[in-house]
């Protein structure tokens, strides 16, 4: 007999979007998620500004 079903290796995980793999995001906290996304955008903007400052 095979015990593959008992080990749980064949159970499929629910499909998750790429968005939920971002650190800091939670499925049940839309306000917190908005703040996290804004912080990431601010960080990206600051890094882009520094990059332009040193490259040009």
- 55 or 20: whose pLDDT is higher? 55
Residue length, the chain?
56
The full set of domain ranges for the chain reads 23-56
What proportion of the chain, given as a percentage, has pLDDT over 70? Answer: 62
Check pLDDT > 60 for residue 6: no
* Residue 27 pLDDT grade (very low, low, confident, very high; cuts 50, 70, 90): confident
pLDDT at 46: 97
From residue 30, how far is each of 1, 17, 20, 37 by CA, in Å? Answer: 47, 16, 12, 10
Q: Are 15 and 21 in contact (CB under 8 A)?
A: no
pLDDT at 50: 94
- pTM for the full predicted model: 0.55
């Amino acid at each position: 007999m095979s015990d593959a079903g008992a080990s749980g290796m064949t159970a499929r995980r629910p499909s998750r979007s790429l968005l939920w793999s971002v650190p800091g995001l939670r499925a049940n906290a839309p306000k917190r998620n908005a703040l996290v996304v804004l912080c990431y955008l601010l960080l990206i903007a600051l890094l882009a500004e520094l990059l332009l400052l040193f490259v040009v």
